[in-house]
Amino acid sequence: MKRVLSGMRPTGKLHLGHWVGALENWVKLQEKYESFFVIVDWHALTTDYENPSRIRENILEIAADWMAAGIDPEKSTVFLQSLVKQHAELHLLLSMITPLGWLLRVPTYKEQMRQLSDRDLHTYGFLGYPVLQTADIIIYKSELVPVGEDQKYHIELAREIVRRFNHLYGEVFPEPKEILTPVPRILGTDGRKMSKSYGNAIFMEDPPEVLKKKIFPMVTDTRRKRRSDPGKPEDCPVWTLHKAFTPEEKRKEIYQGCTTASIGCLDCKRVLVEELSEKFAGFREKKSRFMSKKERIKEILIEGSKRARQVAEQTLEEVREVMGIGIKV
């Protein structure tokens, strides 16, 4: 059975963008493949090393989010990167064969540095981010990696590293391939890409009152200055959410209503609030149950990491052997 691996940095609560862009897909993939889902706390340090105080609580939060969303630790291996030290060893070994030029060329490297200009990212760890990501993936010989569009280059680099490794030492690793989720792009409440750092995110756990507070004042198509002005849903951030969450029947009505001005924006937003409250009602309930049992979450991560370590260690034994490292016993 092919293996799937994906991961997220523990940076905070998950929002609707994470659901449509990743989790929804992961939940389906775990039914078909042997799946590994890793919370990458070392990766979080690459950008947050100056202020790591929230990483620990975020780990539990994200694990609760995953499980409430339907990631089942009985079906998938859900684990914590820093509890599987083999990732660090493989990262080190891969760093020996990864040309600096490959890393300097990764588009997200300079882009992230620009975007996070308040932090000093001129570190060894930050440059090596995709090498650690490569280790995460190939240590389980994973062939499928569900990720967002922005991670495409990282997976491409992983393939290049694998080819170089296999060329130098023999065929140990399969080349991983990304599964790009064809994501309807979800916009945030201010019309920009939904992101926690922009403060425009709608979280999966937001209860109905919060949904109202966030969605009612959302920016809409600027053509609809008055209720009698028809709009174009394609130019409206609210519509990006309807496309992802409202069933087609109802969506058609809204489209019609918007373009003919037979409904107002508030009517349209009310439908969205209803859809979201209903869709994530079960999620909210499960999440709060998990959050009141933090010890249980920790146990699940420890158990998953133990399982991950067994697979990872097997791969490393092969790697040490072909690279001629250590003492042969």
Decide: helix, strand or coil at residue 8: strand
Q: Which does 233 bind (CB under 5 to 8 A by kind): ligand TRP, ligand SF4, none?
A: ligand SF4
Interface residues with ligand TRP (CB under 6 A) are 5-9, 40, 43, 133, 136-137, 145, 147, 151, 154
**Closer to ligand SF4 at the Cβ: 15 or 269?**
269
**Closer to ligand SF4 at the Cβ: 47 or 240?**
240
- C-alpha triplet 193, 197, 201: angle, nearest 5°: 55
Q: Does 188 bind ligand SF4 (CB under 6 A)?
A: no
Considering only 89-97, 159-167, 230-238, 304-312, which stretch makes contact with ligand SF4 by CB under 6 A?
Answer: 230-238
Q: Does 221 bind ligand SF4 (CB under 6 A)?
A: yes
Q: Does 186 bind ligand SF4 (CB under 6 A)?
A: no
- Single-letter amino acid code for the residue at 268: C
**Closer to ligand TRP at the Cβ: 144 or 241?**
144
For residues 11 and 40, is the Cβ–Cβ distance under 8 A?
no
Min CB(126)–ligand TRP separation in Å: 12
Show contacts with ligand SF4 in window 263-322 (CB under 6 A). 265, 268-269
- C-alpha triplet 137, 109, 81: angle, nearest 5°: 30
Task: Report CA-CA distances (Å) from 166 to 5, 92, 133, 138, 163.
Answer: 20, 16, 18, 12, 5
Residue at shortest CB range from ligand TRP: 7
The one among 42, 239, 280, 283 contacting ligand SF4 by CB under 6 A: 239
Q: Which does 147 bind (CB under 5 to 8 A by kind): ligand TRP, ligand SF4, none?
A: ligand TRP
Min CB(273)–ligand SF4 separation in Å: 12
Element (H, E) at 88: helix 86-97
Q: Does 224 bind ligand SF4 (CB under 6 A)?
A: yes
The one among 71, 145, 211, 236 contacting ligand SF4 by CB under 6 A: 236
Min CB(142)–ligand TRP separation in Å: 8
| 70 φψ region: left (φ > 0), alpha (ψ -120 to 50), beta (else) | left
Q: Which does 43 bind (CB under 5 to 8 A by kind): ligand TRP, ligand SF4, none?
A: ligand TRP
- Single-letter amino acid code for the residue at 208: P
- Of the candidates 237, 297, 289, the one whose C-alpha atom is nearest the C-alpha of residue 268 is 237
**Closer to ligand TRP at the Cβ: 155 or 215?**
155
Q: Does 241 bind ligand SF4 (CB under 6 A)?
A: no
Helix %, strand %, coil % of the chain (to 5): 60, 10, 30
Q: Does 258 bind ligand SF4 (CB under 6 A)?
A: yes
Q: Which does 258 bind (CB under 5 to 8 A by kind): ligand TRP, ligand SF4, none?
A: ligand SF4
Side-chain-side CA neighbours of residue 301 (13 Å): 23
Q: Which residues bind ligand SF4 (CB under 6 A)?
A: 220-221, 224, 231, 233, 236, 238-239, 258, 265, 268-269
